[in-house]
Structure formats: C-alpha cells, structure tokens
Amino acid sequence: MYDYQHLRDFLEPVALDELFGDQSFHQHQFGHLLTADEGSAEEASIVLVGVKEQRGEGYPMETSAPDMIRKQFYPMYHWHSDMRLADIGNIRSGATLADTYAALKTVLTELLAQQKTVIILGGSHDLTLAQYGAYEAKEQVIEATVVDALIDLHEEEGVPSRHFLMEMLTGQPNFIRHYNHIGFQSYFVHPGMLETLDKLRFDCYRLGMARENMEEMEPVIRQSDMLSFDMCALRAADAPASRLSPNGFTGDEACLLMRYAGMGSRLSTVGIYGFRAEADRDDLTSIEGAQMLWYFLDGYAIRNHEANLGEKDAFLEFHVSFTDVETSFLKSKRTGRWWMRLPDEVYIPCAYKDYVAASNNETPERWLRAQERL
C-alpha cells in the first residue's frame, strides 16, 4: 500500500460540513462512496482533486467551482458498484501562480506513478500546463486533446489562460506526440493559428464539424493520454458561468465527449476548467460539470470491459482494398468501436465512416493524416 501522507502539505480536505451540513447519503450515492473509509486514495483507481486557482484568468480571488461541482456530484447515484473512487481535496493555492502549478504537478506526478486515473476540477484553463507537466516530469511522450471554443496559442500577451498552449506545444524538450483540438469557433480564432497547427500535423475540429459528426470524436479522444475541457466550449445557455458565446456544444454533447474520454484506455488525466462559480445562474454550470463527471465515470466502466486487440475472437475483421492499398478493419463485439490497420501493421482507432470510405475505394481522411505524421 502506498503512503500519500507526504502529499498533505499540498492539499486541503473538502469542507463537507459547509457543503452538505448534516446531510447523509444513500449507499448508492457518490457521497457515501467518497466519505466512507474505502474511499481512500490507496485503494481507489480514480482520484478527484480540485484546484481553486484562477489567477491565470486574471482573477485574484480563488474560485469555489471545484466545491460547487462536488455539491452537485456527491448526491448523484452511481451504477457501477465495483468502481473505486476517492476525493483527496483541493490543491492549496500557492503564494504565486507558479507555486500552484508546481503543487498540482507534484500531486499529479505522484498519482500517475501509482497508476491512478485523475480527474481535476478547476480552476482556470491554464492549469492544463501543470496537468501536462506531470507527464513532462516522467518524460512520457503523450497525445493530448483539448476541448475549447478558443485556441489559447497567443504569444506572451494578456493572461496565461490565453497563451499557455504556446509553452505546452513548443517548450523544449517536448513530449507531445500529437495534439487534437475539438470545438473551436472560427470567429474567435486567427486563421494563422490553424495554419501553424496544421503544419505540425496536429488535428483541429471546428465546432460545426464536431457537432455534425459526434461519433467521429470518439476515436480522436480514444488515443489521448490527457484531456483538458474548457467549459467555455459549451453554449452560454448550458454553461452560463462561462458566458463566452451563445453558440457551442450542448450539455448532452459535452457529456458524450466526456463519456468517450472515460472509455479511452490510455487516458490517465482529465481536467474540467474555466468557469467562475460566482457567475453561475441557478447552479446550471455546476450541475453540468457534475453530470460531465458522471458520464466520464460511466465511460470508464466500459473501458474495463473492452478486449485487447490481440484477442481475435472479440473482434469482427474486415479486409478492404482501396486505391491499391490492402488493409483490414476491426470492430469490437463488446463496444462496437472500430480500428484500422496502417501499412506499418499498427492499428489506430477509427470510425465506421472510415470503413465505409475505404469500402467505396476512397482513402479515409484519418488514414491520410496518420500517414502524414509517420
């Protein structure tokens, strides 16, 4: 059993009395699971940690957003009795923003070393930099995905939440093998940013494209090691505390993306960032964040039932030829998910649409992008 006592200097416990008073929880509610003795980090496979830091967004005071999500999440019912979940509290805000980054990075590095899946409740979106820093500390090469209406790739201008991607994607040494951006809204993004990301063979999916083909986002997220979700990607009606735009993902689409993330066997950290609890209306954003968390856990339960690609009996195999290329597609009998084989014999996640294109003698776009990166 691993000793987490030395991390306590970086953490403060959840103020349960302030959030729930003398409320008791049913044995099938998350609150019972998280406040019982078995909800300790040593035994858990999934760990929640909050970060109230929002100086990276330009606000000097801490946000109560992590606790407001907890307030909505704890009373929810869990449907997977074998899931082990722990809440280790909130990262103590440092004297400086850099101190908070360092504390979060340290805690995440320790948890990842113990093979935990970590859910971060923010806090401003620039905390993604500390999230990535945990992999950087391990020198682990990763694939990262960000869901955001903006692309925070500005050069050193304004608050850190607007330019943290510059450091994350260009810092040396760099451990980003591939980067995906989902849900950007074109009128907020300089065309030059997309050109730069495309030259790096990174993939960006406009909001309209993603919403029209939500199932196409599942294989994108399936390859990811980390996911960062800025709540401003949602339309203001569904996340009024973000209030960036009247357009964006709906609440149920955000939950679907989080479910996809939970299903991804490689994903080890996910962060929900970017809303000010004091700007919420009728707790709608907090409720949305809690439901996104619930769907991540629902997807996580599915991840544990997926077969390994080497288990041939668990998949349907389809041999296809297109434009003088012979390859094969696999479809899981358990989850219905698809993979396709590249010329180097490696299978990558794909969608049914890719199989249909190949069957019609067309080269799937996903195939082309993968070949370009090779």
The pLDDT tens digits of the residues spanning 176-204 come to 999 999 999 999 999 989 998 998 899 99
The owner of tokens 């698809």 is 338
SS3 290: helix
What does the pLDDT read at residue 67?
96
Considering only CA atoms, give the Rg of the chain. 20
Instruction: Answer whether residue 3 shows pLDDT above 90.
Output: no
pLDDT in tens, 61-74: 899 999 999 999 99
pLDDT in tens, 125-146: 999 999 999 999 999 999 999 9
pLDDT in tens, 157-169: 678 999 999 999 9
3-state DSSP of 94-151: CCCHHHHHHHHHHHHHHHHHCCCEEEEECCCHHHHHHHHHHHHHHCCCEEEEEECCCC
Confidence tier at 206 by pLDDT (50, 70, 90): very high
* Same domain, residue pair 47 and 70: yes
CA–CA distance, 58 with 256 (Å, rounded to integer) = 31
* Same domain, residue pair 143 and 66: yes
Domain boundary among 281, 303, 325: 303
* Same domain, residue pair 242 and 366: no
Question: What's the distance, CA 299 to chain centroid?
Answer: 12
* Same domain, residue pair 191 and 236: yes
pLDDT in tens, 325-370: 899 999 999 999 999 999 999 999 999 999 999 999 999 999 999 9
Residues near 252 by beta carbon (within 8 Å), at least 6 away in sequence:
none
* Same domain, residue pair 253 and 337: no
* Same domain, residue pair 55 and 103: yes
Asked if 340 contacts 354 with a C-beta cutoff of 8 angstroms, the reply is yes
What does the pLDDT read at residue 147?
98
Asked if 272 contacts 231 with a C-beta cutoff of 8 angstroms, the reply is yes
Cα–Cα distances (Å) from 137 to 88, 226, 231, in that order, read: 21, 14, 27
Domain boundary among 278, 303, 328: 303
The β-bridge relationship of strands 226-230 and 269-273 is parallel
* Same domain, residue pair 259 and 124: yes
| Tokens at 9, concatenated | 């200097």
What does the pLDDT read at residue 38?
45
Instruction: Answer whether residue 275 shows pLDDT above 70.
Output: yes
Cα–Cα distances (Å) from 135 to 69, 94, 143, 174, 270, in that order, read: 26, 21, 10, 10, 13
The number of folded domains in the chain is: 2
Amino acid at 28: H
- The average pLDDT across 246-255 equals 97
CA–CA distance, 362 with 271 (Å, rounded to integer) = 37
Instruction: Answer whether residue 1 shows pLDDT above 50.
Output: no
Asked if 280 contacts 286 with a C-beta cutoff of 8 angstroms, the reply is yes
CA–CA distance, 272 with 257 (Å, rounded to integer) = 12
| Tokens at 310, concatenated | 């080497």
pLDDT in tens, 29-51: 999 888 765 447 788 999 999 99
Amino acid at 226: M
Amino acid at 219: P
Instruction: Answer whether residue 229 shows pLDDT above 90.
Output: yes
What does the pLDDT read at residue 231?
97
- The average pLDDT across 101-109 equals 97
Residue-number span of the structural domain to which 343 is assigned: 312-373
* Same domain, residue pair 169 and 262: yes
* Same domain, residue pair 62 and 156: yes
CATH of the domain at 290: 3.40.800.10
* Same domain, residue pair 260 and 367: no
* Same domain, residue pair 89 and 149: yes
CA–CA distance, 219 with 260 (Å, rounded to integer) = 8
* Cβ atoms within 10 Å, residue 235: 22
The β-bridge relationship of strands 269-273 and 176-184 is unpaired
- The average pLDDT across 256-283 equals 94
DSSP readout, 45-83? Answer: SEEEEEE---GGGT--SPP-HHHHHHHHHTTSBPS-TT-
CA–CA distance, 293 with 119 (Å, rounded to integer) = 8
Instruction: Answer whether residue 22 shows pLDDT above 70.
Output: yes
When the pLDDT of each residue in the chain is averaged and rounded to a whole number, the result is 92
Domain boundary among 259, 285, 303: 303
Could you tell me what percent of the chain has a pLDDT over 90? 79
CA–CA distance, 210 with 290 (Å, rounded to integer) = 22
* Same domain, residue pair 295 and 361: no
The owner of tokens 């009247």 is 246
